[in-house]
């Protein structure tokens, strides 16, 4: 669902879920084909990584970044890196489960292939089963007749929930082969494989190392062929290997007994800022473990337990939006603005969603909201064009003349003083007079009217250009008199080109 138009002026989106997701195409993929995660790693085979081409395969996330929905890959040359911050929607969070990544977040999926469903498989591999339609084979193997590969047990075709795990860390390793004892699916030829997902004759399994020098294998099943389970001994010491698997049956093997048990804590209600974690009672079958809650409905149930979690503060940052249009045009600079907000990660959602908060919660100075800009947009016809507009040179009123003396004292600010009188009364030698003709320029600076309003009196309206002509001595004095009395004064004296009219005169005595 979308909000149109989107919120503005610090407005917020409507409450509630903006999106809902359902899984599709849940049927099994072609046997022996690549997994969806393998396909995503392989997409980077054609892209150089740090200048080198690699062949990539998926690998589990490190403990420092345990996000199961990030794309971590390992190359043939043992280069291990995160190639994408999140996998494509529909990718399994990890092998051996139905849990699926959606928008970078791992969503629990029930055995009915519905997100957040409570439907679960019993140990027999039956969705919403009661746990009685199979026989569980399990034990702890501690024999060490000799070094090398020693067979522990054979799991038959159709077996489910195969688990094989070392009891304590050791120098030994687990291994699995086909019934011929020659085709190894895991750790054959005295070579230990890396952690990851493996194919066991058509059934996918997850090989992990929960601790250093400690192996574990889980195959959900059902198995498509018998598998031989091994311990490869590198010494005569075998601390023990626990194994278990379920052999399905068409009829119940016993009368089930159910009870409520507290097994594990649920997810935290907030990813930051403090949340609540709840542990609800699970319906357990006495022999074969967790089953659907409906089997325990008639039994008394304890109230859920709760505890606080994720009490670290939510991170904040300055968020900037795109720049708006430029207010200027081709011959005049303008300004453009953008929205700047302090946002923090949402405590109740995962992914990229953030909420607006007070500016005081963000560190540092906020990014600028307004800046000068240029635009290729044509200017309106009534707008002045050009970078600098030069006025027609006119003779300025003599009142704007400034007479400067060596002392630096200006007569321009004297009340009721006549600059003309002061100039005429001064008795100076002609060689002490220096006159410069300059052009008074209009400093429009290519700014729009709105910018002039914003900047106010910070801008000077006039500026002086470089001298157009310099006069000294008697010629300078004649020109001053000509400016005072008119162009016809002193016709027989030195005259300037009539085209060179001055806009302001500076006289130094």
Q: Is the pLDDT of residue 332 over 60?
A: yes
Task: Give me the pLDDT at residue 507, please.
Answer: 47
Contact indicator for 476, 435 with CB cutoff of 8 Å: yes
Whole-Å CA distances, 427 to 421, 430, 433, 509: 12, 9, 11, 10
Contact indicator for 40, 91 with CB cutoff of 8 Å: yes
Can you tell me the distance from the alpha carbon of 248 to that of 161, in angstroms, rounded to the nearest whole number? 11
Share of the chain above pLDDT 70, in %: 76
Task: Give me the pLDDT at residue 38, please.
Answer: 92
- pLDDT tier for residue 177 given thresholds of 50, 70 and 90: very high
More confident call, 220 vs 271: 220
Contact indicator for 267, 143 with CB cutoff of 8 Å: no
DSSP H or E run through 357: none
Closest CA to 444 of 457, 461, 458, 456: 461
- pLDDT tier for residue 506 given thresholds of 50, 70 and 90: very low
Question: Once rounded to an integer, what is the mean pLDDT over residues 25-44?
Answer: 87
Bridge partner list, 164: 217, 243
Can you tell me the distance from the alpha carbon of 403 to that of 448, in angstroms, rounded to the nearest whole number? 36
Cα atoms in the 13 Å half-sphere on the side-chain side of 132: 12
- Could you read off the pLDDT of 384-439 as tens digits, one per residue? 444 333 333 333 333 333 333 333 443 344 344 444 444 444 456 677 777 776 65
Other beta carbons less than 10 A from residue 337's beta carbon: 16
Task: Give me the pLDDT at residue 508, please.
Answer: 43
Question: Once rounded to an integer, what is the mean pLDDT over residues 261-267?
Answer: 89
Question: Once rounded to an integer, what is the mean pLDDT over residues 165-179?
Answer: 96
- Could you read off the pLDDT of 432-483 as tens digits, one per residue? 777 776 655 444 444 444 454 454 444 444 444 455 577 888 888 888 777 7
Q: Is 503 exposed, middle or buried (0-12, 13-18, 19+ CB in 10 A)?
A: buried
Q: Is the pLDDT of residue 225 over 90?
A: yes
Per the prediction, the chain carries an average pLDDT of: 79
Task: Give me the pLDDT at residue 239, please.
Answer: 94
Record: fold of 134-248: Jelly Rolls (2.60.120)
More confident call, 288 vs 432: 288
Task: Give me the pLDDT at residue 226, please.
Answer: 96
The answer to whether domain 258-309 has CATH 3.10.450 is: no
Task: Give me the pLDDT at residue 490, please.
Answer: 53
Task: Give me the pLDDT at residue 88, please.
Answer: 95
- Could you read off the pLDDT of 200-209 as tens digits, one per residue? 988 889 999 9
Other beta carbons less than 10 A from residue 447's beta carbon: 20
Task: Give me the pLDDT at residue 488, please.
Answer: 58
Task: Give me the pLDDT at residue 197, please.
Answer: 84
Task: Give me the pLDDT at residue 10, please.
Answer: 73
More confident call, 495 vs 26: 26
Task: Give me the pLDDT at residue 495, please.
Answer: 40
Other beta carbons less than 10 A from residue 118's beta carbon: 13
**Domain coordinates in residue numbering, the chain:** 36-115, 134-248, 258-309, 316-373, 433-441+464-508
Can you tell me the distance from the alpha carbon of 226 to that of 412, in angstroms, rounded to the nearest whole number? 110
Task: Give me the pLDDT at residue 406, please.
Answer: 39
Q: Is the pLDDT of residue 190 over 70?
A: yes
Q: Is the pLDDT of residue 131 over 80?
A: yes
């Amino acid at each position: 669902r979308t909000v149109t138009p989107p919120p503005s002026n610090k407005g917020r989106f409507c409450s509630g879920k903006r999106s809902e997701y359902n899984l599709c195409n849940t049927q099994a993929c072609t046997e022996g084909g690549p997994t969806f995660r393998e396909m995503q790693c392989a997409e980077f085979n054609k892209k150089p990584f740090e200048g080198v081409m690699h062949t990539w395969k998926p690998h589990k996330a490190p403990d420092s970044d345990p996000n199961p929905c990030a794309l971590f890959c390992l190359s043939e040359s043992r280069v291990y890196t995160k190639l994408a911050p999140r996998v494509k929607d529909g990718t399994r969070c990890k092998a051996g489960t139905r849990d699926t990544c959606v928008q970078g977040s791992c969503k629990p999926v029930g055995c009915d292939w519905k997100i957040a469903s409570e439907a679960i498989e019993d140990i027999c591999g039956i969705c919403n089963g009661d746990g009685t339609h199979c026989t569980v084979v399990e034990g702890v193997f501690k024999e060490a007749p000799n070094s090398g590969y020693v067979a522990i047990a054979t799991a038959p075709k159709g077996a489910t929930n195969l688990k094989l795990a070392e009891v304590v860390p050791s120098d030994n390793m687990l291994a699995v082969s086909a019934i011929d004892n020659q085709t190894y699916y895991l750790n054959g030829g005295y070579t230990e494989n890396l952690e990851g997902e493996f194919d066991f004759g058509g059934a996918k399994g997850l090989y992990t190392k929960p601790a250093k020098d400690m192996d574990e294998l889980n195959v959900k099943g059902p198995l498509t062929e018998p598998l031989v389970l091994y311990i490869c001994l590198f010494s005569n010491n075998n601390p023990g290997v626990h194994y278990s698997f379920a052999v399905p049956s068409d009829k119940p093997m016993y009368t089930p007994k159910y009870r409520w048990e507290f097994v594990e804590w649920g997810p935290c209600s907030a990813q930051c800022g403090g949340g609540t974690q709840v542990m609800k009672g699970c319906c357990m079958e006495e022999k074969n473990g967790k089953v659907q809650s409906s089997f325990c409905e008639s039994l008394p149930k304890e109230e859920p337990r709760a505890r606080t979690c994720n009490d670290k503060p939510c991170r904040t940052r300055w968020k900037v939006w795109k720049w708006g249009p430029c207010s200027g045009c081709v011959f005049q600079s303008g300004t453009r603005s953008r929205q700047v907000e302090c946002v923090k990660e949402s405590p109740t959602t995962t992914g990229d969603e953030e909420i607006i908060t007070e500016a005081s919660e963000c560190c540092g100075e906020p990014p600028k909201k307004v800046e000068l800009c240029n635009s290729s947009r044509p200017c309106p016809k009534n707008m002045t064009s050009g970078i600098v507009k030069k006025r027609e040179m006119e003779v300025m009123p003599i009142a704007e003349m400034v007479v400067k003396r060596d002392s630096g004292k200006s007569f321009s600010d004297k009340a009721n003083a006549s600059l003309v009188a002061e100039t005429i009364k001064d008795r100076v030698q002609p060689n002490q007079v220096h006159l410069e003709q300059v052009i008074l320029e209009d400093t429009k600076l290519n700014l729009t009217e709105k910018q002039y309003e914003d900047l106010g009196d910070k801008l000077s309206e006039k500026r002086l250009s470089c001298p157009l002509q310099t006069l000294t001595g008697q010629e300078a004095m004649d020109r001053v008199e000509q400016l005072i009395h008119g162009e016809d004064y002193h016709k027989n004296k030195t005259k300037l080109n009539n085209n060179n009219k001055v806009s302001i005169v500076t006289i130094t005595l």
